[in-house]
Amino acid sequence: MSTFALTIKCRSTRGLVAAVAGYLAEQGCNITDSAQFDDLETGTFFMRMSFAPETGQALDALEAGFAAVAEPFGMDYAFHDEAARMKVIIMVSRFGHCLNDLLYRWRIGALPIDIVAVISNHMDYQKVVVNHDIPFHCIRVTKDNKPEAEARIMAVVEETEADLIVLARYMQILSDAMCRRMSGRIINIHHSFLPSFKGANPYKQAFERGVKLIGATSHYVTSDLDEGPIIEQDTIRVTHAQSAEDYVSLGRDVESQVLARAVHAHIHNRVFLNGSKTVVFPASPGSYASERMG
């Protein structure tokens, strides 16, 4: 049986949940998972429901009929087929741990996406990508050709009809224009636990400060460098006995896991932009299941 999801954002008011649940029940749908959040500071309501159309209702028909329910509440809503796969472009430079982790998770079905291209400003991972039967684009970037390079990147986005760009340690700053054009559709992994230790060598900075926790942050990209709405974060404990190089190696594992979890949340429509923050609902049962082991 197909499973669909409904995501809603609107002003908080009485009767929202009852109206949605009542409509789905009337249409022969069984709600299998539901999450909601009221932001008391802004008065904004967020909800995500997974449901199964037990009487065979089509997604288009459900969406069309829901307009009458949504209109009185001013709902910003969308219906999603949970079997549909987002088209994703991965961008990488010379650190391949996040790329390789994403490729593995994609290969075993833990990340149900269609990787339509990998873009890099170096040739280091061409063979790895091509061996996965994924198109590889080397688009070199210099201070003199950045507009042209970015135009080529956007051409790949348009040609592949990509839904999402994942910056898997892509070490180039995107222009304000591209950030605005792809707002909410570019996810980055930042190799530090924001807001501390920004810049090129955060692990070295952390080592020099003698920190006991290092971590990583995944966020949506905005024109404010490394300041976009945060999707996922994690940390790992370190000790005085470990070197700056240890910090880097341990940090790679955290980066890979945090980025994968952020992508997983986005592709399952669990992330809602809420001003400069996000609302991230828990994963539905079964959504982490893999098709195979390797």
For 275-292, b/e burial (b = at least 16 CB within 10 A) is: eeebbbbeebeebeeeee
3-state secondary structure the chain: CCCEEEEEEEECCCCHHHHHHHHHHHCCEEEEEEEEEEECCCCEEEEEEEEEECCCCCHHHHHHHHHHHHHHHCCEEEEEECCCCEEEEEEECCCCHHHHHHHHHHHHCCCCEEEEEEEECCCCCHHHHHCCCCCEEECCCCCCCHHHHHHHHHHHHHHHCCCEEEECCCCCCCCHHHHHHCCCCEEEEECCCCCCCCCCCHHHHHHHHCCCEEEEEEEECCCCCCCCCEEEEEEEECCCCCCHHHHHHHHHHHHHHHHHHHHHHHHCCCEEEECCEEEECCCCCCCCCCCCCC
Active-site residue flag, 234: no
Give the span between the Cα atoms of 195 and 164, in whole angstroms.
Answer: 25
How far is it, in rounded angstroms, from Cα 17 to Cα 181? 33
Indicate which residue of 33, 226, 246, 253 is catalytic: 226
Cα dihedral sign for 268, 272, 276, 277?
A: negative
Q: Side chain identity at 228, as an amino acid letter?
A: G
- For CA atoms 261, 266, 270, 271, the dihedral sign is positive
Active site residues: 226
